[in-house]
Amino acid sequence: MLTGGGDCPGLNAVIRSVVRKGVQEYGFDFVGLRDGWRGALRGHVVPLGIQEVRGILPRGGTILGSSRTNPFKHEDGVQRIRDTLASHDVDALVVIGGEDTLGVATELSRQGIRLVGVPKTIDNDVSGTDCTFGFDTAVGIATEAIDRLHTTAESHMRTLVVEVMGRHSGWIALRAGVAGGANVILVPERPFDIDQVCAWVKSRFKINYAPIVVAAEGAVPKEGQMILKDRTLDEFGHVHLSGIGEWLAQEIEQRTGTDARTTVLGHIQRGGTPSAFDRWLATRFGLHAVDAVNDGDFGMMVALRGTEIIRIPLAEATAHTKLVDPSLYDEFQVFFG
């Protein structure tokens, strides 16, 4: 088993449920690959039994560690993974991750490595599943932060821009923004008009209220390009996002003549105790993932569809990014800049 990509509340719940059911019902033995695909490349393997997973259900992060390692960027990456699995008598992998980690799993599955995927991301952007664990916790944390920022915004009568995670999908910004009573919500799927944003800010001040603007880190203005502080790339070719919140605050100050400040929630959204829903969903994913291993149904990903856990081909799940449904723009159009 391995956990890859950004850490996420609920990862330990998956690990726990896979091990408990696998050992107790199927008599499986488990090992964990440390730090995602990096551990698979380096042969860094640790034992995973009932004792190792005891008490980890409420813990955030992952006891196996994680990384954004892309084995296809390393010399003989696939063969090194095969060697690691063979040397430790690993018959199958349970791969827990988001679009990048599962994208690697999809290609490895095509090359004959037996594995099952479990979708994980706070961004909720993995297609094929109604929801990913970690998302509910992240939305709750962001909503609480927005609630707190309302009072300080009103105290100083200034605009507060809240930058939340969301590279390609604005699910966190939309859910937390609406739940937290934000006045403007900016998402990557819909380039925004900065003049319209400033007009909304001014209208709030006219009725003696301080505006809250929630922006996903991947939000982009209509006129221009993505705002970045750092253009270095990770092994999957992604830039390290951040900067849109600061840019918005500066633009709002210059265009409206009023004070504006930025709060970047960043990794706060990833950390801490998972919500009850995320523990429940992660546990169900783990139980069904080990069932798929037992059935020999490899190359599949477990997914939530309604209230049912189903299996879908990994290739289908990683074919595209799940974006905010366009119908929600009309439903919540009053909030979009």
- 6 known member of a binding site: yes
Q: Any known ligand binding at 82?
A: no
* 189 secondary structure, DSSP code: T
269 known member of a binding site? yes
Q: Determine if residue 59 is labeled as part of a ligand binding site.
A: no
Q: Is 158 known as a binding-site position?
A: yes
Is 175 marked as a binding-site residue? no
301 marked as part of a ligand binding site: no
Check the annotation: does 148 bind a ligand: no
**CB environment 101-123: b (16+ within 10 A), e (fewer):** bbbbbbebbeeebbbbbbbbbbb
From the candidates 7, 35, 100, 123, give the one annotated as an active-site residue. Answer: 123
CA distances from 237 to 70, 290, 322 (A): 10, 32, 19
Q: Is 325 a catalytic residue?
A: no
Check whether 300 is labelled as a binding-site residue: no
252 is in an annotated binding site: no
111: left (phi over 0), alpha (psi -120 to 50) or beta: alpha
268 is in an annotated binding site: yes
Annotated binding-site residue? 99: yes
Integer CA distances (angstroms), 153 to 146, 156, 213, in order: 10, 5, 11
Residue 122 assigned as binding residue: yes
Q: Are strands 2-3 and 212-216 parallel, antiparallel or unpaired?
A: unpaired
Measured distance CA(320)–CA(316) in Å, rounded: 8
Check whether 4 is labelled as a binding-site residue. Answer: no
DSSP state of 236: T
The residue among 102, 57, 92, 99 whose CA lies nearest residue 279 is 57
Q: How far is CA 127 from CA 121, 231, 321, in A?
A: 11, 27, 6
3-state secondary structure of 301: strand
Contact between residue 244 and residue 194 where contact means Cβ atoms under 8 Å apart: no
Residue 123 assigned to a binding site: yes
**How far, in Å, CA of 83 to CA of 74, rounded?**
14
Output the known binding site for diphosphate.
6
**Residues making up the binding site for substrate:** 121-123, 158, 165-167, 217, 261, 267-270
Q: Which residues are annotated as a binding site?
A: 6, 99, 121-123, 158, 165-167, 217, 261, 267-270
Q: Which residues are catalytic?
A: 123
Which residues fall in the annotated binding site for Mg(2+)? 99
